[in-house]
């Protein structure tokens, strides 16, 4: 049986201010969140695991020619799967006490942050790779390559793991009102260090990559809109340029949707949290606490939905996946045609 104290207790971890517990307890939205969030996270777990497993299967067993984008997409998929596996623990903690211990709590918090910022960096790498291919096609022959993409991927993982390692120190379990929960930070004495750390990480692994993506896409759109782009290559070259343009537009739309829907709201709420703690943490009112708590829960869920958006990028843009689906459809149509021909032949006998 789910206890309404779950919701109000989670807020204590968010603010480290026990006076807000009385503000948040007994509200109408408590029961809504108690049922809505576990169901929503369950859907994210189901679709995120299913879609990423499909992507992993196609990349591993159906990809004939590996490209830099394939390398980045594989790492992005691994990043998503690692996080999706932590969702059952989060769902369980919304319903009952946290029984999995301190170490599992730290790992779950670490994997969420690693997925969040790892996805940002790998999507940025995919976008930069496409930008160079579109705007500098000649130089891309020497600048881009599978080995270079592998080195970039190692660098991204090194950056993510080193930047998110402090989460293992800050996160932990805490008991409140005889209930145990997993929190991002449990010691109020570490709050200032956590705020400084969070600000630096947001700038390095979100603001700068987001600016890079926006600049790349702006220049790509300008290049694709040039009348001379793709011309002078014959009819076959025009068709290839048209396909490239379609893939680029799809990628721009999906990646921007992921940044705007999954990453940006969470980052804004995180910044809001830092600003409140840093400048007027003693002036937090009940209404501010309620608004922040609801916004934090919703944006955390939106950030988790990133594990669904990433596979969609592969399905929409991945050349090998679309070729496999086209071949499968062609085989099915040929099989149905043979069946119909056999039926007609048998009827005529």
**What does the pLDDT read at residue 25?**
59
Q: What is the number of other CB atoms lying within 10 angstroms of the CB of residue 42?
A: 13
**What does the pLDDT read at residue 9?**
40
pTM of the model: 0.82
Asked whether residue 103 carries a pLDDT value surpassing 60, the answer given is yes
How many whole angstroms separate alpha carbon 308 and alpha carbon 156?
Answer: 21
Tokens of residue 122, six digits: 């790998």
CA distances for 238 relative to 45, 82, 230, 243, angstroms: 42, 41, 6, 9
| Contact between residue 262 and residue 299 where contact means Cβ atoms under 8 Å apart | no
Q: What domains can be seen in the chain, in order of their start residue?
A: 17-317 (1.20.1070.10)
Which residues fall within 8 angstroms of residue 221, CB to CB, at 6 or more apart? 252
For the stretch 120-144, pLDDT in tens is: 999 999 999 988 888 888 777 777 8
Beta bridge partners of 174: 181
Q: What is the number of other CB atoms lying within 10 angstroms of the CB of residue 279?
A: 8
Lowest mean pLDDT among 160-164, 236-240, 321-325: 321-325
**What does the pLDDT read at residue 114?**
92
For the stretch 7-23, pLDDT in tens is: 434 433 444 444 555 56
| Contact between residue 41 and residue 91 where contact means Cβ atoms under 8 Å apart | yes
Q: Specify the higher pLDDT residue, 123 or 194.
A: 123
**What does the pLDDT read at residue 325?**
47
The residue-averaged pLDDT of 101-126 equals: 92
**What does the pLDDT read at residue 96?**
84
**What does the pLDDT read at residue 20?**
54
| Contact between residue 145 and residue 68 where contact means Cβ atoms under 8 Å apart | yes
**What does the pLDDT read at residue 6?**
46
The residue-averaged pLDDT of 141-157 equals: 89
Return the H-helix or E-strand segment holding 178: none
Which residues fall within 8 angstroms of residue 180, CB to CB, at 6 or more apart? 97, 98, 99, 173, 174
The residue-averaged pLDDT of 288-317 equals: 85
E strands of the chain, at which residues? 172-176, 179-183
The residue-averaged pLDDT of 78-89 equals: 93
* Nearest-10 Cα torsion for 191, 194, 200, 205: -140
Angle at 32 between CA 27 and CA 36, to 5 degrees: 150
**What distance lies between CA 173 and its chain's CA centroid?**
25
How many whole angstroms separate alpha carbon 106 and alpha carbon 235?
Answer: 57
Q: Residue 261: left if φ>0, alpha if ψ -120 to 50, beta else—which one?
A: alpha
Q: How confident is the model at residue 318 (pLDDT cuts 50, 70, 90)?
A: low
How many whole angstroms separate alpha carbon 79 and alpha carbon 157?
Answer: 10
**What does the pLDDT read at residue 2?**
47
Mean pLDDT of the chain: 79
Asked whether residue 74 carries a pLDDT value surpassing 70, the answer given is yes
Lowest mean pLDDT among 57-61, 88-92, 132-136, 271-275: 271-275
Long-range contacts of 342-348 (CB under 8 A, 24+ apart): none
For the stretch 50-73, pLDDT in tens is: 999 999 998 988 888 888 889 999
For the stretch 210-238, pLDDT in tens is: 999 999 999 988 888 877 665 555 566 56
| Contact between residue 263 and residue 122 where contact means Cβ atoms under 8 Å apart | no
Tokens of residue 204, six digits: 């390095």
Q: Residue 237: left if φ>0, alpha if ψ -120 to 50, beta else—which one?
A: alpha
Lowest mean pLDDT among 51-65, 84-98, 141-155, 334-348: 334-348
Asked whether residue 305 carries a pLDDT value surpassing 80, the answer given is yes
Q: Count how many Cα atoms sit within 13 Å of the Cα of residue 24 in the half-sphere of its side chain.
A: 28
Tokens of residue 216, six digits: 């790349």
Angle at 15 between CA 9 and CA 19, to 5 degrees: 65
């Amino acid at each position: 049986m789910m206890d309404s104290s779950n919701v109000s207790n989670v807020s204590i971890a968010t603010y480290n201010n026990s006076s807000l517990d009385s503000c948040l307890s007994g509200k109408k939205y408590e029961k809504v969140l108690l049922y809505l969030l576990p169901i929503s996270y369950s859907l994210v777990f189901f679709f995120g695991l299913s879609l990423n497993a499909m992507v992993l299967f196609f990349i591993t067993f159906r990809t004939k020619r590996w490209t830099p984008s394939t390398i980045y997409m594989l790492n992005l998929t691994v990043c998503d799967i690692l996080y999706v596996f932590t969702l059952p623990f989060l769902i369980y903690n919304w319903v009952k006490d946290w029984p999995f211990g301190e170490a599992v709590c730290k790992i779950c918090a670490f994997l969420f942050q690693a997925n969040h910022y790892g996805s940002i960096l790998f999507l940025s790498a995919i976008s930069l790779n496409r930008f160079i291919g579109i705007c500098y096609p000649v130089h891309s022959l020497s600048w881009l390559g599978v080995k270079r993409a592998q080195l970039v991927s190692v660098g991204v993982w090194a950056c993510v793991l080193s930047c998110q390692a402090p989460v293992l120190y800050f996160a932990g379990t805490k008991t409140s009102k005889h209930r145990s929960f997993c929190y991002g930070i449990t010691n109020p004495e570490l709050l200032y260090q956590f705020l400084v750390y969070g600000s630096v990480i947001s700038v390095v692994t979100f603001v700068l990559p987001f600016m890079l993506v926006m600049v790349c896409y702006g220049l790509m759109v300008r290049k694709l809109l040039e009348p001379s782009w793709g011309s002078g290559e014959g009819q076959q070259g025009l068709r290839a340029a048209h396909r490239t343009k379609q893939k680029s537009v799809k990628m721009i739309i999906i990646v921007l949707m992921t940044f705007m829907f999954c990453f940006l709201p969470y980052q804004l709420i995180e910044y809001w949290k830092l600003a409140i703690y840093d400048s007027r943490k003693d002036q937090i009112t009940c209404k501010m606490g309620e608004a922040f708590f609801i916004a934090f829960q919703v944006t955390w869920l939106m950030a988790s939905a990133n594990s669904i958006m990433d596979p969609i990028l592969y399905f929409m843009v991945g050349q090998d996946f679309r070729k496999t689906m086209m071949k499968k459809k062609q085989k099915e149509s040929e099989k149905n045609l043979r069946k119909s021909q056999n039926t007609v032949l048998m009827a005529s006998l």
